[in-house]
């Protein structure tokens, strides 16, 4: 699918990858953002006057439902739904600064809210022919690292969910795609790792991948990780273990 004259809904568009998606897609499309209230969201509102903003805390499923309801009531078809928003907490279970309450929040933002939004926005997605659900995933869905166990688990769940959902929707106008990203240079990854992929390059590759027929878009080093995992899973696990 080309990305011109489309209505594109992006979650978490106030910063990082979501904001770069907005920047690259804004000129030629109508963009709707679902994101929690923040100073970044207010800046976005001032900078991109045509953007439609639906405020929602993706950790609060009632708030997600309210945002989805407003989108449904707008009676706009949705050509592309990009589930981008995610959080990652790095403390390990044995660390003193691990917080029990982050478990539910991480799962709800990274996985449950995605399932919820897809279900609630299905009527709008069915209006377009074709339409795409694009789930932003990570190489950590294929091979986890030691830290951020909950994050890795949510990405693994998103991978299986996306494959099953594609099977459910194969006789409809909706195509389910996944992007598997390496470490991308955003605020979320500040201070973590080396050799990060510039966010501009990541988004350019994502947009290009939307026009391809496959359901999987591997970006950067993930293109090497996937065959390595298949041929030598032990080596892949050792490489990814330290993140």
pTM reported for the whole predicted model: 0.94
In the chain, the percentage of residues whose pLDDT exceeds 90 is 82
Mean pLDDT of the chain: 94
Q: Is-contact 166 215, C-beta < 8 A?
A: yes
Confidence category of residue 239, pLDDT binned at 50, 70, 90: confident
Give the pLDDT of residue 240: 87
Q: Torsion over CA of 117, 119, 123 and 126, rounded to 10 degrees?
A: 100
Banded pLDDT at 80 (limits 50, 70, 90):
very high
Residue listed under structure tokens 């990274």 = 110
Q: Looking at residue 212, what is its pLDDT?
A: 87
| 50-67 tens-digit pLDDT | 999 999 999 999 999 999
| pLDDT tens digit sequence for 159-195 | 999 999 999 999 999 999 999 999 998 777 666 667 7
Task: Give the Cα separation of 190 and 124 in Å (integer).
Answer: 36
User: What is the spatial distance between Cα 192 and Cα 201, in angstroms, rounded to a whole number?
Assistant: 19
- C-alpha 84/C-alpha 12 separation (Å) is 6
Domain 7-241 falls in which CATH fold? Rossmann fold (3.40.50)
The yes-or-no verdict on residue 124 having pLDDT over 80 is: yes
Tell me which of 36 and 193 has the higher pLDDT: 36
3-state secondary structure of 29: coil
How many angstroms separate the CA atoms of 86 and 34, rounded? Answer: 12
The pairing of beta strand 197-198 with beta strand 184-185: parallel
User: 228: Cβ–Cβ under 8 A, 6 or more apart, which residues?
Assistant: 235, 236, 239
Integer CA distances (angstroms), 219 to 138, 164, 234, in order: 9, 22, 22
User: Domain boundaries in the chain?
Assistant: 7-241
- Output 101 or 40, whichever has higher pLDDT: 101
């Amino acid at each position: 699918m080309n990305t011109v004259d489309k209505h594109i809904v992006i979650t978490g568009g106030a910063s990082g990858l979501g904001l770069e998606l907005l920047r690259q897609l804004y000129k030629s499309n109508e963009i709707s953002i679902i994101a929690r209230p923040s100073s970044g969201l207010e800046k976005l509102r001032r900078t991109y006057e045509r953007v439609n903003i639906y405020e929602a805390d993706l950790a609060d499923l009632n708030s997600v439902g309210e945002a989805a309801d407003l989108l449904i009531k707008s009676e706009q078809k949705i050509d592309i739904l990009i589930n981008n928003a995610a959080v990652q907490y790095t403390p390990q279970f044995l660390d003193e600064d691990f917080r029990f309450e982050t478990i539910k929040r991480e799962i709800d933002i990274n996985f449950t809210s995605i399932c919820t939004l897809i279900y609630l926005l299905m009527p709008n997605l069915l209006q377009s022919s074709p339409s795409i659900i694009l789930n932003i995933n990570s190489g950590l869905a294929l091979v986890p690292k030691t830290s951020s166990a909950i994050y890795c688990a949510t990405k693994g769940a998103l991978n299986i969910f996306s494959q099953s959902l594609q099977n459910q929707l194969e006789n409809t106008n909706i195509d389910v795609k996944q992007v598997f990203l390496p470490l991308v240079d955003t605020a979320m990854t500040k201070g973590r790792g080396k050799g990060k992929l510039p966010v501009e390059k990541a988004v350019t590759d994502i947009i290009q991948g939307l026009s391809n027929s496959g359901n999987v878009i591997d970006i950067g080093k993930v293109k090497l990780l996937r065959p390595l995992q298949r041929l030598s899973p032990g080596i892949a696990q050792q490489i990814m273990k330290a993140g």
